[in-house]
A and B are shown apart, each in its own frame.
Chain A
């Protein structure tokens, strides 16, 4: 089955700790995205990447970092600099042939602070 997988489903972070959220896709999509979702605020773009070894900041990149070493993978690291990391994190992907704008989402990772 083609799709986007995110792991873990739940993640707990201690104060001062960096944590990494995994996102993998086997859709052969070129672009991948990370969003943060908070209640009543919709989705906000953290980072996106159109090609391997290249990525751009979104609207709320501070306190986060990403890498894109493989087309299939786009991990997100929540660093200790992110003071309010508790949220639902969604990964998405898209392909140029379908219009970059049509994005498909993974099941999400909920990050909680201990």
Chain B
């Protein structure tokens, strides 16, 4: 069965610093991978997705993620953090059977001025 582990329930960075949010997955088949962002009391917004094309995926708001099969990872990065990036981020995996997304527990990103 597929699963997702997000390392670090809370990550704190300074404004302008590199953002790195870690996601490792397990899947018995080539996975589809997603990153979502959630602002307080709001729904989830799709940041980016990997669906077996290019391994480096660019998303909205300057975020990108790299699929590394050998490490079963899909870490999310952004070169320079902005105050507006403060939110909770969720990694999710699907084995492509149609309907099921499995979510990680989430990482809350804090950006310090």
Contacts and interface: CB of A to CB of B under 8 A. Distances in A.
Interface of A: 4, 6, 31, 33, 40-45, 48, 50, 56, 58, 88, 90, 92, 99-108, 110
Nearest to A9: B41
B51 A99 contact: yes
Contact of A41 (B36, B43, B100, B105): B105
B9 interface: yes
B46 A104 contact: yes
A48 B99 contact: yes
Interface string B88-113: 00100010101111011110000000
B72 to A, nearest CB: 18
Contacts of B105: 40-42
B45 interface: yes
Interface of B: 4, 9, 32, 34, 36, 41-46, 49, 51, 90, 94, 96, 98-101, 103-106
Interface of B (DSSP majority class): loop
Given A101-B32, A101-B94, A102-B34, A42 B43 contact: no
B103 A42 contact: yes
Nearest to A48: B99
Given A90-B44, A99-B32, A105-B44, A42 B104 contact: yes
Contacts of A101: 32, 34, 51, 94, 96, 98-99, 101
B41 A110 contact: yes
A43 B51 contact: no
A111 B9 CA distance: 24
Given A99-B96, A105-B45, 19 more contacts: A4-B43, A40-B106, A41-B105, A44-B103, A50-B99, A90-B43, A90-B44, A92-B44, A99-B51, A100-B98, A100-B99, A101-B51, A101-B96, A101-B98, A102-B46, A102-B49, A105-B36, A105-B43, A106-B43
